[in-house]
Structure 1
């Protein structure tokens, strides 16, 4: 049974979400004292976190930052606000998805199922866990990329996007292919969500001077280049 931590201060909405998720055999935990979110997180050790943006004391962005300092657990944001910067901010902080209120519960369930499948059924054999790319070592099991410049840890979305591109090196991978592979059902994904994830991946790779090896092919998709190919 997967454990889901729901950080939501609207009691009626919390109870409704908990009831729906319990029907799908998820174990749902809430927060009574919003000063103690990280204490609850450490105690529960959830498999997935759902966070509302507007919360007492600190907002959801704050708690996402705090969680990301300790864990790569999948995070879904909920928000009643419709400003596009909220979505961009959540993705930049390492969230896996963003759902605007009001939402249909079938969509929420589908997103949860897709994220849990790709996170915990992400079967990589030990012998294929390591991959070299442009002098860097990618560890698909640890979600890390390292070279002489240092070592970075990526989110599940970021490492999965990188894996898709690197395994198809020097070939264009369409946005549709990436979305279908990453979210399994692209009907529940906005095109902007993929753009934000790729931009965030590039930003992280910039720390290792690798960002320029991921190219955007306008109107087609993305391509990971290898150092033995002419690159400008």
Structure 2
């Protein structure tokens, strides 16, 4: 089931859109807090975003650009602003389509379905991400983003974080991490894994992610 995230501060309109889209079998969620839309986006990990332009805190252009830093998920702008400049700005920020208010729900649904056909016709989820405690791991390009800063991860750093973040709140055993890194826990020094974890922690601290990975003595590691 495709998930659609609605970023619209008009609660009445948002409810109408949710109801209209849900009838077609889509999973629909909406933003409650507009202070950090990117974190909400990462938490819900939607297949498509419907984005208003006039929003509290920052406008839709800003949030579209921030989403584009970590994902290629389709974005439809929905706004009462209908000038050519607004439409051009929406496209330049990374928007895929633009619908002006007032609008027909049938037209919006047709645009949603068209974007789904073009984007996911081959079963590819371009915007696959994992979010933990505000940190966002992009599965496609192996980058980690936290507090507006992104870093490129090495192969081993990416594998470690992906395993730990997918199992947030659970202890991941050292031998399981070693198998993920080297396809075997045999003939690999225990110290080799420790060195990799320490290097990763140092890189996380460089972007102010302190104590992100917790050591569980004689067991393994976890992200709480």
Q: TM-score, normalised by structure 1?
A: 0.52
Secondary structure of 2:35's aligned partner = coil
CA offset digits 1:81-106 (Å, max 9, x no partner): 12110100011111110000000000
Runs of 5+ consecutive residues of structure 1 not aligned to the other structure: 125-141, 144-232
CA offset digits 1:147-205 (Å, max 9, x no partner): xxxxxxxxxxxxxxxxxxxxxxxxxxxxxxxxxxxxxxxxxxxxxxxxxxxxxxxxxxx
Map 1:43-192 onto structure 2 (within 5 A): 43-122=43-122
Structure-1 residue corresponding to 2:19: 19
Moved more, 35-44 or 111-120: 35-44
Structure 2 CA distance for aligned equivalents of residues 41 and 28 of structure 1:
13
Q: Per the alignment, do residues 46 and 123 of structure 1 end up closer, same or farther by CA in structure 2, a change over 3 Å counting?
A: closer
Q: TM-score, normalised by structure 2?
A: 0.54
Structure-2 residue corresponding to 1:2: 2
Structure 1 CA distance for aligned equivalents of residues 115 and 6 of structure 2:
15
Structure-2 residue corresponding to 1:28: 28
Offset at residue 123 of structure 1 (A): 6.8
Runs of 5+ consecutive residues of structure 2 not aligned to the other structure: 125-139, 142-224
Structure 2 CA distance for aligned equivalents of residues 83 and 47 of structure 1:
28
Structure 1 CA distance for aligned equivalents of residues 67 and 36 of structure 2:
12
Structure 2 CA distance for aligned equivalents of residues 123 and 83 of structure 1:
35
Q: Per the alignment, do residues 45 and 100 of structure 1 end up closer, same or farther by CA in structure 2, a change over 3 Å counting?
A: same
Q: CA RMSD in A?
A: 1.6
Secondary structure of 2:20's aligned partner = helix
Q: Per the alignment, do residues 122 and 12 of structure 1 end up closer, same or farther by CA in structure 2, a change over 3 Å counting?
A: same
- Which stretches of structure 1, 4 residues or more, deviate above 3 A after TM superposition? none
Secondary structure of 1:32's aligned partner = coil
CA offset digits 1:12-37 (Å, max 9, x no partner): 00000000011001111111110021
Secondary structure of 2:51's aligned partner = strand
Structure-2 residue corresponding to 1:183: none
Secondary structure of 1:35's aligned partner = coil
Secondary structure of 1:64's aligned partner = helix
Structure 2 CA distance for aligned equivalents of residues 91 and 122 of structure 1:
24
Structure-1 residue corresponding to 2:183: none
Secondary structure of 1:78's aligned partner = strand
Offset at residue 122 of structure 1 (A): 3.8
